[in-house]
Structure 1
Amino acid sequence: MTEALHRDYQIGEEIGSGRFGIVYRCTSSSSGEQFAVKSINKALLVDPVDRDCIDTEAKLTHLASSSSSSHSGSHTVRLHGVYEDSSFLHLVLDLCDGSDLFDHLSRHAPLPEPEAASIMTSVIEAISSCHKNGVAHRDIKPDNILFDGQGGLRLADFGSAGWFGGGGNSTTMMSGLVGTAHYVAPEVVRGEEYGEKVDIWSAGVVLYVMLGGGLPFEGGSAVEVFEAVMRGNLRFPTRIFGWVSPEAKDLMRRMMSKDVSRRLSAEQALRHPWITSGGGAR
């Protein structure tokens, strides 16, 4: 690791790993505050697409959490420093030492509507913060939604993120098959150019998993999953969704609309009655 990183932070134990590197706990030498440092091994970036993603990750992570609304921005993992040497790129990030939503759902799904609404509100606020700054996350899934250990949620891992412009209006369309098969929007699978609403589709799939305990589009292979996604035949089996409110189902239909022009934006989703009522919480 770079001399500057060791000067500024005390590096602790490994707390996670991924395709390209390892995440460590670290402590600021000046303040004593704890962070995470994601150390990316450049030697593993053989594919030019992977190199491009890593090159832009730091920039887009910073942009995504730079909203003028500190509340919505607080739901994205923030970047605190970048260090680089010949072998590694090191990103100092917020420490989220709780579990992630995938682990939570593995133990507790399906969730009660008020709990699902609370989680989804934070997720959509994070997406809204990203979109206001011209960033599409492009890989919204439970694994990338982290509990920060203080009762909050953070949207993490901007390695697949794309830049589309600012002000909430797509000024530059994006392209490329990016994301995770079960959560990716149909326009991405079809190979079309697309806008930031791909994140809303993915968040809709997350909501479906929270309330139903399973995925809306499945198959025995990635190809079959993509075919199911492109059909977009959204069903709510009574044996699974019989207890789920009509308002929750309406929100999912609007988030997973194949017609992008009819799909909700992040701001529209935040104003949906199911969200504003806290999933009918009393």
Structure 2
Amino acid sequence: MAYANSPYPPIKGYSIGPDIAEGGFSKVYKAFNPDKPPPCIAAIKVISLVNASSGPTLDEQSFKRIKKEIKVHSALKHANILELIDSVEDQEGIPSRKIPPAFYIILEYAVGGDLFDQLVPDVGLCNDDEVIHFYFRQLMSGLHFCHSKGVVHRDLKPENILLDGRGNLLISDFGLCSVYKYNGKERLLTEVCGSAPYAAPELALGRPYHGPAIDLWSSGIILYVLLVGNTPWDNPTLESPEFASYVRGVIWNMDPWCRIKPELKALLQELMNIDPEMRITMSQLVKNPWFRMKNPLMNAEGLTKSGANLAVRLAKQRGELEGRHEEDEVRKLASELVNTPAIEVSLDGDPSNVQLSQEIGQSQLGTRFKNDLNMNPTQPFSCTVRLFTADPVLASQKMQHANLSTMFISESPIEELIEAFREALDILSVKHQAKPLNPPTDGESDNNSGVKITVSFIDNRKQKLMGSLRIEPIVPIEGALGRSTATDGMDVDETEMENNPKWGVVFKRRKGDVLQWKKKYEELVRLLPPGLMVSNSA
């Protein structure tokens, strides 16, 4: 079985479907394995080895790095590390289908999306200490496992922190990882890598460094972002006024540092000690009183007790901070979910184990949620996130895009959409270029199949962000898996969709900080004409 229109053959039993991310010479696709117990979805990263016009895309060093990434990542099996399921190195390709030689890396599909996509820029999760503690504990659990195996990540940042279907944290992207300890012997590292806002200051000195210390520094930056919704500086050098203030010790009375609780401020100082020799170690961190405290969201294994409860807490906080007020039906159902411990399912994914109260099942919204959960029994967190999306069409689109918040539905003609985006992007000084998503057929407008507008800009931390604004037609067509590709089986009136065409607009990040990308999306939608958006997920 294969997805319609996919040129790729099945890889280790997985049929390659739509693309969900892309890099320089790589793309990540959503994939499905019909021979494994449902729902068996994976992400397949395809790294091209040859470019048709310019020859090899990877030099020898890059080739070796990918081989090392696969070997190291595949050995890291932990609940808070994105699983590398399998890999294939194809040196031949399929010339008849214009498929070049490539690496195929089969990864766990992080159906919960990005953790930091759930945060509000410049706010973070400051109103929910338990959620902050929960995710920081999970981050350090995964990182502690890496270090115990002699591996340092070296590129911890928001875009590499994902969520599974229950809302548990997953560390991803081991492309810059390194083995610092082997057979009990440690070595210093020399390669300068990582993203400047999250990088440790010793990397700028050009000297050999201790690997675990730079991961702990990056973890401190991530904790800060969870607390306040932004990074503390653009780079850890004295050229940054904020970092210079941090070094001088005068930043503590400045906003937002002054709003951070004393015990957390003290922990941040230990994690982000300028001197790596004095920086807190993992063995010291696990003894920290704040770190050790019990968390009511966490079970004995360090995983979420209730993905539904976790999703409700995140969604309610976002709604309050963004000035949104959920309908009574949503609030009532959310309250039921929080107070129904049996909402979780067992690991075998049997939907018969889901026990919803009678009250939940009586409403139309409750029926939609129950149907969603029956289709995706191992994803209570993701299903509950979609519960807060009133429009079922938008909810179904979020299912396809891992609960992405930077998307909306529009009923406006596509020409109006394109022109509105061009004007808004020009105002924001965002570079952009539009082209059809698919080649038009005879007699069809260039734009009827959808449009992809590539965008790039520099954020306020002087980092480059790249991505695309995709305008995709939402039509009820039977897909390769026997369900509507537009609705993915959710309760949507397809006749209404045929009579009133709708467009799914997705602001999809390719490179750069998740929160900065979300901030730009919010700036963009504020500039759009009234009535252009039918429903918005932000």
Query: CA–CA distance in 1 between the matches of 2:232 and 2:287?
Result: 24
Q: How does 1:122-141 map to 2 (within 5 A)?
A: 122-141=138-157
State the match for 2:199 in structure 1: 184
**Residue 15 (structure 2) pairs with residue 10 (structure 1):** yes
Query: CA–CA distance in 2 between the matches of 1:153 and 1:96?
Result: 9
Deviation, structure 1 residue 187? 1.6
State the match for 2:68 in structure 1: 56
**Residue 209 (structure 2) pairs with residue 194 (structure 1):** yes
Q: How does 1:1-282 map to 2 (within 5 A)?
A: 5-6=10-11, 8-32=13-37, 33-43=40-50, 45-46=57-58, 49-65=61-77, 73-86=78-91, 87-106=101-120, 109-112=123-126, 113-166=129-182, 171-195=186-210, 196-218=212-234, 224=239, 228=243, 232=247, 235-277=251-293
Query: CA–CA distance in 1 between the matches of 2:240 and 2:90?
Result: 40
Deviation, structure 1 residue 46? 4.1
Query: CA–CA distance in 1 between the matches of 2:148 and 2:154?
Result: 15
Query: CA–CA distance in 2 between the matches of 1:232 and 1:19?
Result: 36
Any idea what the Cα deviations from partners look like across 1:112-171, whole Å, max 9, x if unmatched?
A: 32221111111111110110111100000111000112111100000111111148x761
Query: CA–CA distance in 2 between the matches of 1:2 and 1:36?
Result: 14
Any idea what the Cα deviations from partners look like across 1:24-63, whole Å, max 9, x if unmatched?
A: 1222343142211111122374455533432211112123
The SS at the match of 2:226 is helix
Query: Against the structure 1 CA distance between its residues 193 and 23, is the aligned structure 2 distance closer, same or farther, given a 3 Å change threshold?
Result: same
TM-score under structure 1 length normalisation: 0.84
Which amino acid in structure 1 is aligned with residue 119 of structure 2? L
Deviation, structure 1 residue 173? 1.5
Structure that is richer in helix per residue: 1
Deviation, structure 1 residue 243? 3.4
Return 5+ residue gaps in structure 1 as ranges: 66-72
Query: CA–CA distance in 1 between the matches of 2:219 and 2:271?
Result: 8
Which amino acid in structure 2 is aligned with residue 41 of structure 1? S
Q: Is the 8 A contact 1:125 1:266 kept in 2?
A: no
Deviation, structure 1 residue 226? 11
The SS at the match of 1:36 is strand
Query: Against the structure 1 CA distance between its residues 49 and 181, is the aligned structure 2 distance closer, same or farther, given a 3 Å change threshold?
Result: farther
Query: Against the structure 1 CA distance between its residues 15 and 262, is the aligned structure 2 distance closer, same or farther, given a 3 Å change threshold?
Result: same
Query: CA–CA distance in 2 between the matches of 1:40 and 1:18?
Result: 9
Deviation, structure 1 residue 217? 2.3
Query: CA–CA distance in 2 between the matches of 1:249 and 1:278?
Result: 19
Query: Against the structure 1 CA distance between its residues 129 and 279, is the aligned structure 2 distance closer, same or farther, given a 3 Å change threshold?
Result: same
Q: Is the 8 A contact 2:8 2:16 kept in 1?
A: no
Q: Is the 8 A contact 1:138 1:161 kept in 2?
A: yes
Deviation, structure 1 residue 223? 9.5
Q: Is the 8 A contact 2:74 2:86 kept in 1?
A: no
Moved more, 131-140 or 31-40: 31-40
TM-score under structure 2 length normalisation: 0.46
The SS at the match of 2:187 is coil
Query: Against the structure 1 CA distance between its residues 223 and 62, is the aligned structure 2 distance closer, same or farther, given a 3 Å change threshold?
Result: farther
Q: Is the 8 A contact 1:35 1:94 kept in 2?
A: yes
Query: CA–CA distance in 2 between the matches of 1:226 and 1:64?
Result: 39
Which amino acid in structure 2 is aligned with residue 63 of structure 1? A
Query: Against the structure 1 CA distance between its residues 240 and 52, is the aligned structure 2 distance closer, same or farther, given a 3 Å change threshold?
Result: same
Query: Against the structure 1 CA distance between its residues 270 and 19, is the aligned structure 2 distance closer, same or farther, given a 3 Å change threshold?
Result: farther
Query: CA–CA distance in 2 between the matches of 1:110 and 1:236?
Result: 19
Deviation, structure 1 residue 184? 0.7
How many pairs were matched up? 271
Moved more, 259-268 or 53-62: 259-268
Any idea what the Cα deviations from partners look like across 1:93-117, whole Å, max 9, x if unmatched?
A: 1110222133223458321322211
State the match for 1:69 in structure 2: none
The SS at the match of 2:181 is coil
Deviation, structure 1 residue 7? 5.1
Q: Is the 8 A contact 1:20 1:41 kept in 2?
A: yes
Which amino acid in structure 1 is aligned with residue 20 of structure 2? I
Query: CA–CA distance in 2 between the matches of 1:232 and 1:51?
Result: 39
Look at both structures and tell me which one has the larger radius of gyration over its CA atoms.
Answer: 2
What is the aligned-residue identity percentage?
Answer: 28
